[in-house]
Amino acid sequence: MDTIKQFPMRKQQSIQAAPSMQALLTQATSQLSAGRVALIGAGPGDAELLTLKALSYLQQAEVVLYDYLVSDEIMALIPSTTILVCVGKKAGHHSVPQHKTNQLLVDFANQGYKVARIKGGDPFVFGRGGEELEVLAEAGIQFEVIPGITAAAGATAYAGIPLTHRDYAQSAMFITGHLKSEQDTLEWKTLARGNQTLVIYMGLMKSSHIQQQLIEHGRATTTPIAIIERGTHKNQKVLIGELSELASLAVQAQSPSLIVVGEVVKLAKKLSWFQQDDSANNIENIETSLNNSAVFTSLNPHQDKVISA
């Protein structure tokens, strides 16, 4: 019978206490220089998913331009002396036109500020990060990019849904749900293929169109689907159902939400781990009346420094 051999112990003298966060930041070699813009991905919301380099640059920046999708927990990590400029876009709120955001980045950099532009998720995944950097490049502004965990990776992981699995999905595709029915040029036949995971950003408002197109192009009506609301946040909610129920489930969700279509969703309940030991914090595991679809529910300190662009 095989036995597990004991792994060798580290020598006692080599064991040291883990460095503090402040010590890690002190040792960070990257420096944000004056007149330079750092395009930063904030990740899906959980502040502990922020990269060390992103945190270091947020501490160094003199001006931070941010979106609504950046969580309050991450905003709280920015020093109170930093100038904050809200350039978010959100239904029912004051929205800043993209051209004005671009101009603000150029103006702050030209004035010699250390500028951080932080976006939810990853700035190069449906975040217009490339568009903003094009403007900076044309204006002769130096910049760099600090990637973040995109919602398709972070939210699904916290929902217990692997993007790929040898038994269920050999590929994953990400699309945006900001579609105009009359101008829809997506390859729905490709998107409707089996044995793949389809992740749809910003798809709630077009859920009926998405449902119709996937079914018309061959995806089974019984294909498992999930809607992940506020993924990785403490109040994350996951709605589980079938493709035929997508539009009906979407009315129960609020933005920001991510739609996942594919057989990997079958694993959500089995692989659920987030908030398992926090049952007192508004967590439910209930069956809805909608065809047995499952629902798993799981102060800005700079207020006086915030500028509405």
Distance CA 105, CA 246 (A): 39
Q: Stretch 186-198: mean pLDDT, rounded?
A: 96
Q: Residue 105 pLDDT more than 60? A: yes
Write down the pTM of the prediction. Answer: 0.84
| Sequence-separated (6 or more) residues with CB below 8 Å from residue 61 | 32, 38, 78, 82, 114, 115, 116
Q: 265 to each of 97, 203, 284, how far by Cα in Å?
A: 37, 17, 18
* Span(s) in the chain for CATH 3.40.1010.10: 30-149
Question: Given the structure tokens 């915030």, which residue do they identify?
Answer: 306
- The CATH superfamily holding the domain 152-270 is Tetrapyrrole methylase, C-terminal domain (3.30.950.10)
Q: How far apart, in Å, do the first and last CA atoms of the chain sit?
A: 69
217, pLDDT greater than 70: yes
What are the backbone angles phi and psi of residue 203, rounded to the nearest 5°?
-105, 0
Percentage of the chain beyond pLDDT 90 is 73
Compute the mean pLDDT over every residue in the chain, rounded to the nearest whole number.
86
**Per-residue confidence band for 282, with pLDDT thresholds at 50, 70 and 90:** very low
Residue 303 CA to residue 300 CA, distance in Å, equals 6
CATH fold of 30-149 reads Cobalt-precorrin-4 Transmethylase; domain 1 (3.40.1010)
Tens digits of per-residue pLDDT, 224-254?
Answer: 999 999 999 999 999 999 999 999 999 999 9
Task: For 24-82, give the secondary structure using H, E and C.
Answer: HHHHCCCCCCCCEEEEEECECCCHHHCCHHHHHHHHHCCEEEECCCCCHHHHCCCCCCC
Q: Is the pLDDT of residue 161 over 60?
A: yes
Determine the number of helices (DSSP H) and then strands (DSSP E) in the chain.
9, 13
Confidence band of 53 (pLDDT split at 50, 70, 90): very high
User: Which residue type sits at 160?
Assistant: G
Asked which of 8-17, 104-113, 176-185, 261-270 is least confident by mean pLDDT, the reply is 8-17
Phi, psi of 129 (to 5 degrees): -60, -40
Per-residue pLDDT at 171: 97
Residues of the chain with CATH 3.30.950.10: 152-270
Tell me: pLDDT of 39 over 50: yes
CA angle 286, 290, 292 (to 5 degrees): 55
Q: How far, in Å, CA of 224 to CA of 241, rounded?
A: 6
Q: Where are the beta strands (DSSP E) in the chain?
A: 36-41, 63-66, 83-86, 115-119, 142-146, 172-176, 197-201, 224-229, 237-242, 257-261, 284-287, 294-297, 306-308
Active site residues: 67, 89
Look up residue 19 and give its two tokens.
Answer: 């460095």
Decide if pLDDT at 214 tops 70. Answer: yes
CA quadruple 246, 252, 253, 254: dihedral positive or negative? positive
Q: How confident is the model at residue 21 (pLDDT cuts 50, 70, 90)?
A: low
Q: What is the pLDDT, as a whole number, of residue 201?
A: 97
